[in-house]
Amino acid sequence: MNVTIKDIAKQANVSTSTVSRVLNGQDNFYATKTAKKVHKAALKLGYRKNTNATELVTKKSNTIGVIMLANKTNFANGIVDGIQDEALHNKLNVIIVHAGENDPVLQKKAIQTVTERPVKGLLIVGIELADENLQYLQQTGFPYLFISAEFSQDNVPFITTDNFYSAYTATQFLVDHGYRKIGLAGISDQSFMGKRRIAGYLDALKHNKINYEKNWLQPGNFSYQDGVVAIKKYQKNSNVDAVLCGSDYTALGVLNEAREHGLEVPGDLGIMSMDGTELAQYISPEITSIEQSFFDMGVKGAKMLQKSFTNDFYQYIPFKIVEGNSTLK
Amino acid sequence: MNVTIKDIAKQANVSTSTVSRVLNGQDNFYATKTAKKVHKAALKLGYRKNTNATELVTKKSNTIGVIMLANKTNFANGIVDGIQDEALHNKLNVIIVHAGENDPVLQKKAIQTVTERPVKGLLIVGIELADENLQYLQQTGFPYLFISAEFSQDNVPFITTDNFYSAYTATQFLVDHGYRKIGLAGISDQSFMGKRRIAGYLDALKHNKINYEKNWLQPGNFSYQDGVVAIKKYQKNSNVDAVLCGSDYTALGVLNEAREHGLEVPGDLGIMSMDGTELAQYISPEITSIEQSFFDMGVKGAKMLQKSFTNDFYQYIPFKIVEGNSTLK
DNA sequence: CTGAAAGCGCTTACAG
DNA sequence: CTGAAAGCGCTTACAG
């Protein structure tokens, strides 16, 4: 039913070997005249290549598999954009599988879906896999690289923003702008990434001789609700004059809830975010934030998959602070 | 290098035929004892199926291909969630390819990537393909279905919100709540979807004996900037007392820019959006909006791909109005 | 420059 | 219940 190289071969009066060589552009292995015949036949017949067959025999692949966090914050989209951009320039295909938020079953399923085919390698975006899934991934033998996730082990390669340093820098920024009682909201204290950020935050406090007070840390999941809840807790049990937020959504939650309580931003309360998606600039006041280079992470990740790297490879991508109006000048 | 059924066959002392049958759970075609041996060997050897080979020989596939709009508005994520959910319940895989915003080259590339493998069918999310690409898609012979896109032709199957009716309903809502000079911003007048919305909007005005004034319509691309620009135009050339927005981002742009001009929302200006993503409720005031059932669209789309349907198939998914505080009571 | 042949990893009638 | 054999659509040494 479907057109194959056999059909082309017949139509063009050559062998399938020749068809294959022409279609793959293996220069100098065929006469121009032959090539013309073949291309003409292929076009006429409406030939479309069966990549499954090719991959089966070559055991190679031009496809990058992406396993992606599917949640409300959309930073992952920026990373995927970068991956696609790099892929396009190198004639690579990209297939994406969403892995939900923190569901090990979905994660496993996603890994299976991608690795059932001989992909060039795997990029895991915004997810820290459950231990058993990380192990499963490693067993497949495919090259893999985490993007926007951090690991302690030196046997898991990753590309990310330096979480410790960015949290440190953000906290220092708040201190430099007159804040002393600084809360941290919407960051998971389960993930290694979260732990690094918390460590950076605490280190900056210490460095400025600020005593961390209980309840300043309000862990969460980068969600809007986390921000709302944090302010509620702060109003009850402690008082802060600034909040460093895990995501723009969290910052938005903090902002709205703070207003509910009659707090002026940035006077009564400074707000800073660590996402730096587009949203930050659309909120009024614009949210001061750590702007991560998500696109670059994607590009870099796709680039790495075309090289070879060892398991202790990791790279921190530079970030910058974009000053908005949610913090004092 | 990789473990194949041959290896398992050797290890378990059976033929590859038997291994295949056991691994595929073709009941009653093998002895329980044999099955045990095979499974044990597979486990021991760390066997992973090569789906390429399977698809090559069966010419079938359990994979749904999704071609997805990659832009800032994240309604498409809700649709994909629905697709994945349905797929999971039916043991289907989902591979996603992003197709950029309106770039025909990326679109073509995306179609190629997906159709180079024998997918079960294609779901195209949030995109109206360029004519040549639609044609190309049809030539591939794969079943396909558009989600959140509308077509005039009765030869393109789709699932969407009724764009005419939802715009009509939204406009009527604004009229019912005291507004008479109603602008429409951030909607593309190039796409069929946009045209349907504009038609619904105009029809509602007419029905209420409101004379449409030039400049009320400020087309765009669902972006934040569209909202900003629209307000600027309104301030200059016409005056509106409400704006119906193509997306939550556009609504946010309208809101912020309106405030710049000292306009009170909802007193001086009513704002309504046609997206209904999470963002609408996080903005303050909460944006009154048409809430589309994106998740349901995804589920329904994935379901359809498992049935057979003709090219004149289409379905409108119900929507509802969620009243916020950006419109008068 | 070109073709015949083997083989990638699987499935499935067919025969027993 | 099980196996030998053919074949899915392609690529690639090998020989000429």
B21 found inside a domain: yes
Cα B329 from Cα B315, distance rounded (Å)? 32
Judge whether residue B286 has pLDDT over 70: yes
Specify whether A245 is located in the same domain as A180: yes
Question: Do the Cβ atoms of B215 and B233 come closer than 8 Å?
Answer: yes
Give the residue, A129 or B203, on which the prediction is more confident. Answer: B203
A58 CB less than 7 Å from any atom of strand D? yes
Q: How confident is the model at residue A277 (pLDDT cuts 50, 70, 90)?
A: confident
Give the pLDDT of residue A27: 61
| A142 in B contact zone (CB under 8 Å) | no
Q: Are residues A186 and A198 in the same domain?
A: yes
Average pLDDT, chain B: 90
For residues B184 and B252, state if they share a domain. yes
Residue given tokens 């994945």 in the structure block: B84
Tokens 């009066």 correspond to what residue?
A13
Residue A181 has what pLDDT? 96
Nearest to A84 among B81, B98, B253 (CB): B98
Tell whether the model's pLDDT for residue B218 goes beyond 70. Answer: yes
Is residue B204 assigned to a domain?
yes
Asked if residue A192 is part of any domain, the answer here is yes
Whether A74 and A14 map to the same domain: the answer is no
A77, A106, A113 member nearest B93 (Cβ)? A113
Does residue A56 fall inside a structural domain? no
pLDDT tens profile B12-48: 889 999 999 998 877 666 778 888 888 898 888 888 8
Contact A52 B56 (CB under 8 A): yes
Residue A55 lies in a domain: no
Q: Are residues B67 and B45 in the same domain?
A: no
- Which chain B residue is nearest to residue A60, measuring alpha carbons? B52
* pLDDT score of B328 more than 90: yes
Tell me, yes or no, whether A325 lies in a domain. no
Residue A179 is assigned to a structural domain of this protein: yes
Q: Domain holding B45: CATH number? A: 1.10.260.40
**Are residues A131 and A119 located together in one domain of the fold?**
yes
Structure confidence by residue, pLDDT tens digits, A6-32: 999 988 889 999 999 998 877 666 778
Q: How many domains does chain A have?
A: 3
Q: Per DSSP, what are the bridge partners of residue B242?
A: B182, B270
B3 touches chain A (CB under 8 A): no
Cα–Cα distance, B290 to B319 (Å, whole number): 7
Packing angle of the helix pair A75-89, A294-304 (nearest 10 deg): 40
Residue B249 one-letter amino acid: Y
Same domain flag for A178 and A238:
yes
A53 touches strand D (CB under 7 A): yes
Residues B139 and B193 in one domain: no
Give Cβ neighbours of residue B81 (< 8 Å, ≥ 6 apart).
A70, A98, B294, B295, B298
Cβ atoms of B55 and B117 within 8 Å: the answer is yes
Range of the domain at B66: 61-161+295-317
Any residues with CB less than 8 A from the CB of B275 and at least 6 apart, and which?
A: B73, B75, B222, B246, B247, B248, B249, B251, B289, B290, B292
- What does the pLDDT read at residue A227? 96
What is the distance between the terminal CA atoms of chain B, rounded to a whole angstrom? 70
pLDDT of residue B27: 61
Q: Which residues in chain A are contacts of B81 at CB distance < 8 A? A: 70, 98
**Are A140 and A112 within one domain?**
yes
Quote the pLDDT of residue A238. 77
Task: Please check whether residue B326 lies inside any domain of the structure.
Answer: no
Tokens read off for B201: 């909007």
Report which of residues A152 and B215 the model is more confident about: B215
- Mark whether B141 and B214 lie in a shared domain: no
On whether both A218 and A123 belong to a single domain, the answer is no
How far does the CA of A91 sit from the C1' of D1, in Å? 49
Q: Which residues 25-44 of chain A have a CB under 7 Å from nucleic chain C?
A: 28-31, 33-34
What average pLDDT does this structure show over A150-173?
93
CATH number at residue B216: 3.40.50.2300
Q: Based on the domain organization, do B167 and B286 belong to the same domain?
A: yes
